[in-house]
Chain A
Amino acid sequence: MGLRRFGRLVKWVGGNGRRPFSTSSSSSCDEMMVQQIASGKSLNLYSAINQALHIALETDPRAYVFGEDVSFGGVFRCTTGLADRFGKQRVFNTPLCEQGIVGFGIGLAAMGNQAVAEIQFADYIFPAFDQACIPSTAKFRYRSGNQFNCGGLTIRSPYGAVGHGGHYHSQSPEAFFCHAPGIKVVIPRSPRQAKGLLLSCIRDPNPVVFFEPKWLYRLSVEEVPEHDYMLPLSEAEIIREGNDITLVGWGAQLSIMEQACKDAEKDGISCELIDLRTLLPWDKDTVEASVRKTGRLLISHEAPVTGGFGAEISASIVERCFLRASTTPVARVCGLDTPFPLVFEPFYMPNKNKILDAIKSTVNY
């Protein structure tokens, strides 16, 4: 299953010629440059993140990287070589205390530093969620009347299914964080995106939670420019143009959606696929414009459907397009409303066939 994802992914991130970036008004200079320079090194996702962290530490002497086991590379090797290169004063292991890690990061950031904290798995983030992530991180600026902030804080954490992760190494908790005005939530879909978005997150003057799709750490490989570049936050990207239905997703789910789009095309259905990239604050305009064109919307994510971020997108788009464009009910193809299962992962996941069925039933509504 993982390999299939990989194969497709490479195709759509590799062949950039046919992709409609030039029509997207949101593309920044940086982004254009990234598209033009196809001659980077071929990297997988964890190496791209590693490169971004190298650049972040290199370009800002006040940047720090810390978390459980990061000084010897971390469980996914994202921080390999950083401690050797930048020293143990700037790249260091913490005890196993998520609340402490994030709280410490807030303090470090409040002193004007760039704190890049790693929570080893998104499933472990909840002890930190309590005290640090929401009340402190999100509201520090607001409740101090702008005297203090922790804008320098970026929390990196691997999220999502990995094929066999079980209950505590597979969850997608992004929706919890999207309920906290004041933080940003960003999820990349590929190595090139990951590098550019992570550098933007680290340098953004707001606290950011950056979820990395762990399924793609090794599987997703593409050309990544070696230089320092940033991709804009809160700008969705249309990665496939179409006229019949708009599909919105993020992270690892996009490669699955891409497969469904290709299969739908064989049946004559033209799908437009949007990578939301930033979930909070999200790019309503791009999604709205697309739905106005296609008249139909499908959202897909791994997290359980009830209360997932798909619900927010659905409600917002219905508000904006109710009479003008939305001619069919919004479809949500998401994780089931169950705990993330162990042996039942294949049933739980919003896989290609589920998406394809939903595309067809929406288009033929």
Chain B
Amino acid sequence: MALSRLASSSSSGSNFLKPLSSALSFTPSLRRPISSAADDSTTLTIETSVPFTSHRCDVPSRTVDTTPKELMTFFRDMALMRRMEIAADSLYKAKLIRGFCHLYDGQEAVAIGMEAAITKKDCIITAYRDHCTFLGRGGTLLQVFSELMGRQGGCSKGKGGSMHFYKKDAGFYGGHGIVGAQVPLGCGLAFGQKYSKDETVTFALYGDGAANQGQLFEALNISALWDLPAILVCENNHYGMGTAEWRAAKSPSYYKRGDYVPGLKVDGMDVFAVKQACKFAKEHALKNGPIILEMDTYRYHGHSMSDPGSTYRTRDEISGVRQERDPIERIRKLIFAHDLATEKELKDIEKEVRKEVDEAIAKAKESPMPEPSELFTNIYVKGYGAESFGADRKEVRTVLP
């Protein structure tokens, strides 16, 4: 039974600080004077924080090319996501957001790095921690906050809420409420892509908690059997709700859990490592079929808004990760190291971002609630004769729009 494990492995608890010290291994020869920061096309070469670890596949190079422009964009986008999630926290506490709400702060590098390596023709499907993934796919702050507050201006017309963000034109298939259930769906998307032959892939995201769901392995087997271009991305934030990974998984090496399916372990707090891994995975998937990417990451908030996030882990652990591995701070240091911006310039960006978020919230609050008739729409296809009944089931009866 699972019990002996509980007792014996307490020592293997938190090792989150491991990949930290080597955080900043840039190439000093590329240090440039501030004046050249304007030259966006300069190529900078950056080494990822830690080497990748692979299972049944080659290891991508640790050296990643980037540009000053990309670095600055990464900083801004991640700061925006961070600010958005913190604002969502306040809105939830003010009861302006109802329903359940799961925040992504800490994990921003995964969403950003992934987007940097792929196109909007590639598909992404994720679970309920979906705000930032949606933003990464090109969603707007206004759509995010409107949806969170259940307004018409939301990406799902206010009918979905926090866990149900979608963006069809950018291949974002949501936003799913049941742990692990989105992964087989993602494999279905990949099956469709294999037919369409347009060299696109699907990234199916799930957490370390979902990694123990049976349907994941069912879907993985199918994908491997038919060489589907499916990339399973395990966002390992080390806690499945309130249960530490080692309490829930016999092997927390999620990149190896596919057995016959290759896998790669990635520092999910390093946006460049994520980018490199996703690029590698896409090439691999198009040629050889599915691959698992385990992103070693961390969520600063609790699992959901009802979880303070401090009963099953120590405050020291959280602040340690913040200090040592924070994805935004890593980029900030890289920017300084390459003299691309001053401290003040970055602070100004953060101020701008804060303003942008506040404005979006104000605007979202003006968006009206959905019309009451929307309660009955989108249940069946319009015009196919389905009826809905009111409370008395006799008099209040309507053909579904």
* Cβ–Cβ contact A127 & B375, under 8 A: no
A363–B317 alpha-carbon span in the complex (Å): 64
* Cβ–Cβ contact B243 & A68, under 8 A: yes
- Chain B positions 175-222 with a Cβ under 8 Å from a chain A Cβ: 177-181, 209-210, 212-215
- Chain A positions 91-133 with a Cβ under 8 Å from a chain B Cβ: 92-97, 99-100, 120, 123-124, 126-127
Instruction: Say whether chain A's binding surface is mostly helix, strand, loop, or mixed.
Output: loop
Q: Among the listed A168, A343, A357, A361, which residue makes an inter-chain contact with B98, where contact means beta carbons less than 8 Å apart? A: A343
* Cβ–Cβ contact B375 & A336, under 8 A: yes
At the interface, yes or no: B242 with Cβ under 8 Å from chain A? yes
A221–B158 alpha-carbon span in the complex (Å): 35
Q: Among the listed B179, B379, B391, B393, which residue makes an inter-chain contact with A96, where contact means beta carbons less than 8 Å apart? A: B179
- Chain A positions 317-354 with a Cβ under 8 Å from a chain B Cβ: 329, 331-334, 336-339, 341-344, 347-348, 350, 354
A169-B99 contact in complex given A333-B392, A343-B150, C-beta closer than 8 Å: yes
**Please, which residues of chain A bring their CB within 8 A of the CB of B375?**
336, 338, 341, 344, 347-348
Q: Among the listed A75, A337, A357, which residue makes an inter-chain contact with B307, where contact means beta carbons less than 8 Å apart? A: A75
* Cβ–Cβ contact B379 & A338, under 8 A: yes
* Cβ–Cβ contact B392 & A95, under 8 A: no
A336-B150 contact in complex given A68-B241, A68-B243, A92-B3, C-beta closer than 8 Å: no
A96–B391 alpha-carbon span in the complex (Å): 37
* Cβ–Cβ contact B379 & A72, under 8 A: no
- In this complex, how many residues of chain B approach chain A with their Cβ under 8 Å: the count is 52
* Cβ–Cβ contact A127 & B215, under 8 A: yes
**Please, which residues of chain B bring their CB within 8 A of the CB of A358?**
391-392
At the interface, yes or no: A89 with Cβ under 8 Å from chain B? yes
At the interface, yes or no: B91 with Cβ under 8 Å from chain A? no
Instruction: Say whether chain B's binding surface is mostly helix, strand, loop, or mixed.
Output: loop
A292–B56 alpha-carbon span in the complex (Å): 72
Q: Among the listed A69, A339, A343, A357, which residue makes an inter-chain contact with B392, where contact means beta carbons less than 8 Å apart? A: A357
Nearest A residue (CB) for B208: A96
Interface residues on A, range: 35 or more
At the interface, yes or no: B311 with Cβ under 8 Å from chain A? yes
A72-B389 contact in complex given A342-B98, A343-B369, C-beta closer than 8 Å: no
**Please, which residues of chain B bring their CB within 8 A of the CB of A333?**
391-392
A127-B178 contact in complex given A95-B212, A164-B98, C-beta closer than 8 Å: yes
A149–B265 alpha-carbon span in the complex (Å): 44
In the assembled complex, 21 residue pairs joining A and B whose CB atoms fall closer than 8 Å, in A order, are A69-B243, A73-B311, A88-B3, A93-B6, A96-B210, A96-B243, A96-B248, A97-B213, A124-B178, A163-B98, A167-B163, A305-B389, A338-B376, A342-B98, A342-B161, A343-B98, A343-B158, A343-B370, A347-B372, A347-B375, A354-B391
Interface contacts beyond A165-B99, A336-B375: sample of 14 additional A-B pairs, CB < 8 Å, sorted by A = A93-B248, A95-B212, A95-B243, A126-B178, A166-B100, A305-B393, A336-B388, A336-B391, A337-B389, A338-B388, A347-B375, A350-B391, A357-B392, A358-B392
